[in-house]
């Protein structure tokens, strides 16, 4: 959300409570003030935020995904949901453990039905790296069954300062979820926090990293 606010987008921070949302708004606004640009976000409870938003980015832990979607489901009709959740199951978070539908995003699509367009994106990007505003040596793979939804997600990837790639249908999202578990293991093995995925051998626009 910080990078989208920095890009001047109208961002609404949703949370289970208005107080927690307001706290995050203050934190993000302080960062924007420090760098001297951007559009401060607004805060609201999850349902209110989902009702107002055109695109919803779901960034909760996978264990909280079903409950969160149940709470906001009535506000999602006809909208785009970008699912960032990854089915990492403690304590072995480095082990690939996919849910019955095949991925976190596919689980969300099954819960919501065809009335909501679900796209998977950003699973392989460490949240801490998105927050520090430094260039990120990682690409974003976007999966979904709705072409227009994927285009919107790719625009948001670019607004966050990263390169994105259309990685095919939602059925492919399980591969990306699995990669996240592997990257988590590499982080632990090499004592780093931001192992990522880079697509090589493809043309990039001028200025793209």
Other beta carbons less than 10 A from residue 79's beta carbon: 17
Helix (H, G, I), strand (E, B) or coil at 12: strand
Structure tokens, 199? 């697509």
Phi and psi (nearest 5°) for 157?
A: -60, -45
Question: Is-contact 142 121, C-beta < 8 A?
Answer: yes
In a domain, 101, yes or no: yes
In a domain, 71, yes or no: yes
In a domain, 119, yes or no: yes
Output the pLDDT for position 207.
67
Residues 72-87: tens digit of each pLDDT: 999 999 999 999 999 9
Question: Is-contact 44 14, C-beta < 8 A?
Answer: yes
Where do the H-state alpha helices sit in 100-146? Answer: 104-112, 127-132
C-alpha separations of 110 from 40, 57, 157, 170 in Å: 34, 17, 25, 11
Distance of CA 46 to the CA centre of its chain: 16
Helix (H, G, I), strand (E, B) or coil at 55: strand
| Residue 163 domain boundaries | 54-190
Q: Which stretches of the chain drop beneath a pLDDT of 70?
A: 207, 209
In a domain, 206, yes or no: no
Looking up residue 90, the CATH number of its domain turns out to be: 3.40.50.720
CA end-to-end distance (rounded Å), the chain = 21
In a domain, 21, yes or no: no
Residues 23-47: tens digit of each pLDDT: 999 999 999 999 999 999 999 999 9
Query: Smallest Cα–Cα separation from 139: which of 152, 123, 119?
Result: 123
Output the pLDDT for position 73.
94
In a domain, 143, yes or no: yes
Q: What interhelical angle do 104-112 and 65-72 show, nearest 10? A: 30
Domain count, the chain: 1
Query: Smallest Cα–Cα separation from 138: which of 128, 150, 149?
Result: 128
Output the pLDDT for position 206.
73
In a domain, 130, yes or no: yes
In a domain, 72, yes or no: yes
Output the pLDDT for position 209.
66
């Amino acid at each position: 959300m910080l990078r989208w606010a920095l890009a001047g987008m109208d961002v609404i921070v949703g949370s289970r409570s208005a107080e927690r949302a307001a706290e995050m708004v203050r934190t993000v606004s302080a960062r924007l003030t420090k760098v001297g640009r951007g559009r401060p976000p607004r805060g609201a409870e999850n349902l209110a935020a989902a009702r107002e938003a055109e695109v919803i980015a779901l960034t909760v832990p996978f264990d909280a995904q079903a409950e969160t979607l149940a709470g906001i489901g009535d506000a999602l009709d006809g909208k785009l949901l970008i699912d960032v959740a990854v089915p990492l199951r403690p304590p072995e978070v480095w082990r690939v453990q996919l849910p019955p539908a095949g991925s976190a995003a596919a689980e969300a699509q099954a819960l919501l039905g065809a009335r909501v367009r679900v796209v998977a994106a950003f699973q392989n990007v460490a949240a801490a790296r998105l927050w520090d505003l430094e260039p990120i040596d990682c690409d974003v793979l976007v999966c979904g069954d709705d072409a227009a939804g994927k285009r919107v997600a790719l625009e948001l990837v670019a607004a966050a300062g990263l390169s994105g790639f259309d990685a095919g249908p939602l059925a492919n999202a399980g591969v990306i979820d699995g990669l996240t578990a592997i990257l988590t293991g590499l982080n632990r093995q090499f004592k780093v926090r931001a192992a990522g995925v880079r697509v090589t051998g493809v043309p990039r626009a001028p200025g793209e990293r």
